[in-house]
């Protein structure tokens, strides 16, 4: 019989902890949450204090049965994570296993090390029901919003959409940023750089003003012909750079994206594995505080490896006073372990955490900063040169990646300088930067929206649901004018510059814009930034025992939410389609309208009320509902267009579908990546079609009529047009007979049928 049963969330965590406890302890995993609100139905009794109805997840019934069996006659220790979610899992375990929460032991630890585990065993507590209530309030609130608001979107905007308290606010941020970028009017000015010589050492200095036009810039350069240059002043002052605080969840996500190129989800997944294997402390935290034990361990390591002068004791203060049950920042459990992890991703992330935590206890980097002002004999403006020299590396010894040194020659006041050239280059004001995953996390944290544990799933959800796409943008080209003074002559030039190029940035889709506009107009309080922040503070009050969770939910639902749901019933679909009349078709005299349709943005010729049905067309490439014009829209109604014909007379059609522009010959479709179906020539279309036929021929391994063997992106497979079956790697597909192919197809498992979920009628 089991004497002591310790229950954790994950098998990896269980495996690590079991090594530290004696034979009297059995450590088992619940494999995450075991109870939740059912997937179907609201399961919240609004008439009875919003009491939720939970059920054991079907896939967890075997786990619960095993844990119940082990718990009989044993001392049970609930050892789930120390945050609210972990507390809720512990409570659900107690409920599912029939344990008394007033007696069952609850233990928490910030790191999975032997001292921490043994200390937790020596200091058990009970399940904190206030923390459970805070998590329960979040779950119930999000269920109410998602379950009752999503069907409104299905009716008024488009079927299949979803809404969420944090999710919809995140989408709103991205939509508003994209609109700010679109509205930005770039203003140009001219940056003037002078290249000088001092005792054969060259350096650059920038003019302290920026002319607005090329004419002003040329006038300045012409005034410098024959001018002399003198060092007016040299100012030197010591400077320093201090290390950053140890990582919180959000700063780890941001830095892992910047330095390692990790996505937010990837960072949390890798950090989870490092935590479960006992290498780092708990990775969901708002705190920048280090324990006294960690500070002492870091001090010993720094002094031993680098010397006393590299150590400076620090304790960072957590910015948010309401930080969610966070006891310590993310750090390695052992500072003497410089490398850890079972794969390259774990090793990279561990190294980053180790460097950041250790450097937080190291001395500042010391620099010498130099500012030099250079006068012009013929003009009142001044050239300014700035330099910085690293005197003592301090924490940069461990955690570098900062600014590069900009060295200046040893200049003295009154010194004459030789000018090599002066260049005036047109520069443009920049639009706000698009959000990356990391910068969105930073924005959400700064605004107090959500909590560290919600950022990764939120960012994944808005992409999975089609509201946001991560894109690489090629940008556009523009003319950049410049002028240069060299050897007493001013020359002007114009070059092409690419701007607006971006990699891995979050772009809103058309459905995101329409949904955001609808929610902002009819559910403003729900997607209001202040409301979302206020909800988080109320969750904190519940966790502190200051507010009853049912009361908070009742006030929100009855006062804020329910009236909006009722009012939205009167909103017509036409109001949400954002239809805009672009003008009149000169031929048919019918209105040309742009609006949001069932499958996204579309063009419409004619009214739905007309006897003759309207004609529909897709938007032109690289246009939006906001900026498409009548002139751009009219040619789209000529699609599908006959581009020409093949040599055998078969017509080539051009069109734009749901997945972009294409040409078509019979049942063969060729996607157009660099061409427009309205402008592509017959010759170009023939070449693309010929290339497609070659691809098809290479793709066909064998053709037995109904059954074919084809090459796919994941290897060769057999198909009869309805069912596909992979061919084993050790089998040569070219040697298979029709009978072999049929056998492979017959033995392959049937494809699972997709069942469309329907809204529950009320």
- Please name which of 444, 273, 414, 256 lies closest in space to residue 343, comparing C-alpha atoms: 273
Same domain membership, residue 503 and residue 470:
yes
Q: Is 760 inside any structural domain?
A: no
Same domain membership, residue 199 and residue 167:
no
406 vs 384: CA distance, rounded Å: 13
Residues facing residue 715 across a β-bridge: 712
The chain-wide mean pLDDT, for the chain, equals: 89
Same domain membership, residue 548 and residue 451:
yes
Q: Select from 668, 683, 700 the last residue of a domain.
A: 700
Summarize the confidence of residues 160-167 as an average pLDDT: 84
6 vs 77: CA distance, rounded Å: 5
| Residue 236: strand, helix, or coil | strand
- Range of the structural domain that residue 661 is part of: 639-700
Q: What are the φ/ψ torsions at residue 278 (nearest 5 degrees)?
A: 80, 15
CATH code: domain of residue 40? 3.40.50.140
End-to-end CA distance of the chain: 51
Q: What tens digit of pLDDT does each residue of 78-137 get?
A: 999 888 889 999 999 999 999 999 999 999 988 888 999 999 999 999 999 999 999 999
| Residue 479: strand, helix, or coil | strand
Summarize the confidence of residues 669-697 as an average pLDDT: 87
Q: How many CB atoms sit inside 10 A of residue 98's CB? A: 9
Cis upstream peptide for 640 (omega within 30°): yes
> Residue with structure tokens 């084809």?
710
499 is catalytic: no
CATH code: domain of residue 269? 1.10.290.10
Same domain membership, residue 645 and residue 628:
no
Same domain membership, residue 371 and residue 323:
no
Same domain membership, residue 225 and residue 206:
yes
Non-local CB neighbours of 518 within 8 Å, separated by 6+ positions: 153, 156, 157, 576
Non-local CB neighbours of 53 within 8 Å, separated by 6+ positions: 37, 38, 43, 44, 45
DSSP code of 518?
H
pLDDT at 756: 42
CA 305 to chain centre: 38
Q: What tens digit of pLDDT does each residue of 210-226 get?
A: 999 999 999 999 999 99
253 vs 259: CA distance, rounded Å: 10
695 has a pLDDT exceeding 90:
no
Angstrom distances, CA of residue 26 to CA of 14, 18, 631: 9, 7, 74
Give the pair of three-digit tokens for residue 333: 């459990």
- Please name which of 755, 489, 595, 668 lies closest in space to residue 157, comparing C-alpha atoms: 595
603 vs 407: CA distance, rounded Å: 59
Contact status, residue 614 vs residue 606, Cβ threshold 8 Å: yes
Q: Is 523 inside any structural domain?
A: yes
Q: Select from 408, 428, 448 the last residue of a domain.
A: 428
Most confident of 264-278, 442-456, 702-716: 264-278
Model confidence at 144, in pLDDT bands (50, 70, 90)?
very high
Summarize the confidence of residues 673-681 as an average pLDDT: 85
296 vs 2: CA distance, rounded Å: 39
Same domain membership, residue 347 and residue 371:
no
- Long-range contacts (CB closer than 8 Å, 24 or more residues apart) made by 335-342: 335/294, 335/297, 335/298, 335/300, 335/301, 336/297, 336/301, 337/279, 340/274, 340/277, 340/279, 341/274, 341/279, 342/273, 342/277
Q: How many CB atoms sit inside 10 A of residue 159's CB? A: 12
Q: Is 754 inside any structural domain?
A: no
Count, residues in the chain? 762
Give the pair of three-digit tokens for residue 33: 């949450």
Q: How many CB atoms sit inside 10 A of residue 313's CB? A: 9
- Long-range contacts (CB closer than 8 Å, 24 or more residues apart) made by 124-128: 124/77, 126/101, 126/102, 127/78, 127/87, 127/90, 127/91, 127/94, 127/101, 128/87
Q: Which run of H or E residues covers position 230?
A: strand 229-241
Q: What are the φ/ψ torsions at residue 517 (nearest 5 degrees)?
A: -65, -40
* Residue 761: burial class (beta carbons within 10 Å; 0-12, 13-18, 19+): exposed
Half-sphere exposure of 144 (CA within 13 A, CB side): 26
**SS3 string of 537-593?**
HHHHHHHCCCCCHHHHHHHHHHHHHHHHHHHHCCCCHHHHCCCEEEEECCCCCCEEE
Give the pair of three-digit tokens for residue 410: 């040893």
478 vs 60: CA distance, rounded Å: 59
CA 147 to chain centre: 25
Q: What share of the chain is helix, strand, coil (3-state, %, to 5)?
A: 35, 25, 35
Model confidence at 753, in pLDDT bands (50, 70, 90)?
low
59 vs 253: CA distance, rounded Å: 31
DSSP string, 591-604: EEEEEEETTEEEEE
Angstrom distances, CA of residue 122 to CA of 113, 118, 277, 325, 386: 14, 6, 22, 21, 59
Q: Is 33 inside any structural domain?
A: yes
Q: Are strands 4-8 and 25-29 parallel, antiparallel or unpaired?
A: parallel
420 vs 164: CA distance, rounded Å: 61
Same domain membership, residue 86 and residue 100:
yes
Domain total of the chain: 7
Give the pair of three-digit tokens for residue 188: 């140009």
pLDDT at 760: 37
Half-sphere exposure of 38 (CA within 13 A, CB side): 7
Same domain membership, residue 694 and residue 710:
no
> Residue with structure tokens 């794969």?
343
What are the counts of helices (DSSP H) followed by strands (DSSP E) for the chain?
A: 21, 30
Half-sphere exposure of 452 (CA within 13 A, CB side): 26
Given 25, 275, 282, 455, the catalytic residue: 282
Q: Which run of H or E residues covers position 166?
A: none
Q: What tens digit of pLDDT does each residue of 274-305 get?
A: 999 999 999 988 889 998 889 999 999 999 99
Same domain membership, residue 660 and residue 583:
no
Same domain membership, residue 607 and residue 549:
no
Same domain membership, residue 479 and residue 402:
no
DSSP code of 371?
E
755 has a pLDDT exceeding 70:
no
Q: Is 15 inside any structural domain?
A: yes
Q: Is 381 inside any structural domain?
A: yes
Q: Is 761 inside any structural domain?
A: no
Percent of the chain residues past pLDDT 90, beyond the cut: 53
383 vs 388: CA distance, rounded Å: 17
Q: Is 166 inside any structural domain?
A: yes
Summarize the confidence of residues 445-451 as an average pLDDT: 86
pLDDT at 761: 36
Q: Select from 395, 412, 428 the last residue of a domain.
A: 428
Q: What tens digit of pLDDT does each residue of 561-606 get?
A: 999 999 888 887 777 777 888 999 898 889 999 888 777 788 888 8
Q: What tens digit of pLDDT does each residue of 295-348 get?
A: 999 999 999 999 999 999 998 876 654 444 446 899 999 999 999 999 999 999
> Residue with structure tokens 């055998």?
648
CATH code: domain of residue 512? 1.10.460.10
172 vs 494: CA distance, rounded Å: 39
| Residue 723: strand, helix, or coil | coil
CATH code: domain of residue 400? 2.70.20.10
């Amino acid at each position: 019989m089991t004497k002591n049963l310790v229950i954790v969330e994950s098998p990896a965590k269980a495996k690590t902890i079991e090594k530290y406890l004696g034979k009297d302890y059995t450590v088992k995993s619940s494999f995450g949450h075991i109870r939740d609100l059912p997937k179907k139905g609201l399961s919240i009794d609004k008439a009875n204090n919003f009491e939720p109805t939970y059920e054991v997840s079907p896939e967890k019934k075997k786990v619960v049965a095993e844990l119940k069996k082990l718990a009989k006659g044993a001392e049970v220790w609930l050892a789930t994570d120390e945050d609210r979610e972990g507390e809720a899992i512990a409570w659900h375990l107690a409920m599912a296993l029939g344990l008394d929460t007033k007696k069952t032991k609850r233990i928490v630890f910030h790191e999975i090390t032997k001292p921490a585990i043994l200390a937790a065993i020596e200091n058990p507590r009970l399940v904190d029901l206030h923390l459970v209530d805070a998590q329960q309030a979040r779950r119930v609130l999000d269920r109410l919003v998602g379950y009752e608001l999503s069907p409104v979107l299905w009716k008024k905007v488009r079927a299949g959409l979803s809404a969420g308290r944090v999710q919809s606010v995140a989408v709103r941020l991205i939509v508003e940023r994209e609109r700010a970028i679109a509205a930005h009017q770039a203003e140009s000015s001219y940056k003037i750089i002078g290249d000088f010589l001092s005792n054969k050492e060259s350096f650059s200095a920038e003019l302290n003003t920026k002319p607005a036009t090329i004419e002003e810039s040329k006038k300045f350069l012409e005034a410098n012909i024959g001018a002399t240059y003198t060092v007016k002043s040299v100012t030197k002052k010591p400077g320093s750079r201090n290390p950053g605080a140890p990582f919180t969840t959000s700063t780890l996500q941001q830095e892992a994206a910047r330095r390692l190129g990790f996505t937010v989800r990837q960072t949390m997944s890798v950090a989870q594995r490092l935590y479960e294997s006992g290498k780092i402390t708990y990775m969901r935290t708002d705190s920048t505080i280090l324990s006294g034990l960690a500070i002492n361990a870091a001090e010993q390591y720094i002094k031993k490896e680098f010397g006393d002068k590299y150590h400076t004791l620090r304790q960072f203060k957590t910015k948010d006073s309401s930080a969610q049950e966070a006891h310590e920042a993310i750090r390695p459990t052992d500072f003497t372990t410089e490398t850890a992890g079972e794969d390259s991703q774990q090793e990279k992330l561990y190294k980053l955490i180790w460097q950041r935590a250790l450097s937080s206890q190291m001395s500042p980097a010391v620099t010498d900063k130099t500012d030099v002002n250079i006068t012009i004999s013929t003009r009142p403006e001044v050239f300014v040169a700035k330099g910085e020299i690293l005197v003592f590396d301090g924490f940069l010894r461990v955690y570098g990646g900062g600014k590069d040194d900009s060295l200046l020659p040893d200049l003295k006041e009154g010194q004459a300088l030789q000018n090599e050239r002066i260049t005036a280059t047109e520069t443009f004001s920049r639009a706000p930067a698009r959000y990356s995953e990391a910068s969105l996390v930073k924005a959400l944290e700064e605004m107090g929206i959500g909590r560290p544990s919600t950022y990764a799933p939120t960012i994944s959800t808005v992409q999975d649901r089609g509201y946001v796409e991560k894109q690489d943008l090629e940008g556009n080209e523009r003319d950049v004018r410049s002028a240069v003074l060299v050897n007493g002559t001013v020359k002007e030039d114009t070059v092409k510059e690419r701007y607006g190029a971006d990699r891995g940035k979050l772009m809103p889709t058309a459905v995101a814009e329409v949904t955001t506009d609808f929610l902002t107009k009819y559910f403003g309080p729900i997607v209001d930034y202040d409301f979302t922040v206020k909800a988080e503070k109320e969750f904190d009050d519940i966790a502190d025992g200051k507010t009853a969770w049912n009361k908070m939910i009742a006030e929100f639902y009855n006062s804020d939410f329910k009236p909006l749901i009722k009012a939205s019933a009167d909103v017509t679909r036409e109001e949400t389609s954002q239809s805009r009349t672009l003008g009149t078709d000169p031929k048919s005299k019918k209105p040309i309208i742009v609006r949001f349709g069932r499958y996204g943005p579309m063009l419409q010729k004619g009214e739905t009320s007309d006897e003759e049905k309207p004609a529909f067309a897709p938007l032109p490439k690289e246009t939006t509902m906001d900026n498409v014009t009548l002139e751009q829209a009219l040619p789209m109604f000529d699609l599908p267009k006959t581009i020409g014909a093949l040599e055998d007379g078969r017509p080539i059609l051009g069109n734009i579908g749901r997945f972009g522009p294409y040409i078509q010959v019979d049942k063969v479709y060729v996607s157009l990546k660099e061409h427009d179906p309205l402008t592509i020539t017959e010759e170009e279309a023939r070449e693309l079609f010929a290339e497609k036929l070659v691809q098809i021929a290479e793709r066909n391994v064998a053709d037995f009529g109904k059954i074919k063997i084809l090459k796919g992106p994941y290897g060769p497979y057999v198909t009869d047009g309805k069912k596909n079956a992979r061919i084993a790697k050790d089998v040569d597909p070219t040697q298979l007979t029709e009978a072999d192919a049929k056998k492979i197809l017959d033995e392959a498992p049937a494809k699972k049928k997709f069942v469309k979920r329907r809204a529950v009628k009320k």
